[in-house]
Amino acid sequence: MATALWITRSDIMTLSPLDGNIDTDKLTPFIKSAQDINVQDVLGTDLFNRINDDIQNSNLTGDYLTLVQEYVRPMLVHMMVTDFLGFHSVEITNAGIFNRISTTGNNADADQVQKLIRQERNTADFYRRRLLDHLSFKARTLYPEYYTNSNGDMYPNRERWTGGWRI
């Protein structure tokens, strides 16, 4: 099954600190992988597929539309940015792997990039917790697919944190 992109360039530019001059082709692989890894991890395969089908068929409405707009989209944007930041300064081409050099400023050092990644991860974790809270209260009545996974499906991961220490 093909996967639709659940967020747009406009969503990314509105909800994240990324500059509007970034080429969309550079963002797309990170959107796709963040959906597959992070969103499907929270929603499980059946709910993920239901929403993906609705997006592909342009009939995402009602509670599912609310779920995506209010809860999934903010998490997805920040998860995508978290992954993107680690690769943005690197160019991978046929000729090799290169550090991109800015002509208008100084490149951020590794510590600065790691700080940005941590900040984005914290923001993504906040939205993940909001999504999990919403699902814990509403899934039984609004999103039955959340509970219908079987066999080789991914079951929803209901853990509240995606990284860091847990005590």
Are 129 and 160 within 8 A, CB to CB?
A: yes
Mean pLDDT of the 74-92 span: 86
CA distances from 28 to 3, 12, 32, 33, 35 (A): 12, 11, 6, 9, 11
Do residues 135 and 156 make contact, with C-beta atoms less than 8 angstroms apart?
Answer: yes
pLDDT of residue 165: 45
> Residue 160: its pLDDT value, please?
59
Nearest of 31, 30, 49 to residue 40 by alpha carbon: 49
Q: Which stretches within 17-162 are classed as H helix?
A: 24-34, 40-56, 62-66, 73-87, 110-142
DSSP character at residue 165: -
* Phi-psi category of residue 50: left, alpha or beta, with phi > 0 → left and psi -120 to 50 → alpha: alpha
What is this structure's pTM? Answer: 0.86
Q: DSSP states of 139-150 as a string? A: HHHH-GGGG---
Confidence of residue 93 (pLDDT cuts 50, 70, 90): low
- List the single range of 21-25, 74-78, 116-120, 153-157 with lowest mean pLDDT: 21-25
At 14 the pLDDT is 94
Instruction: Assess whether pLDDT exceeds 90 at residue 77.
Output: yes
Residue 44's identity, in one-letter code, is: G
- The whole-number pLDDT of residue 166 equals 45
Residue 167 is predicted with a pLDDT of 44
The residue behind tokens 């100084």 is 106
Q: Report pLDDT for 113.
A: 82
pLDDT of residue 54: 97
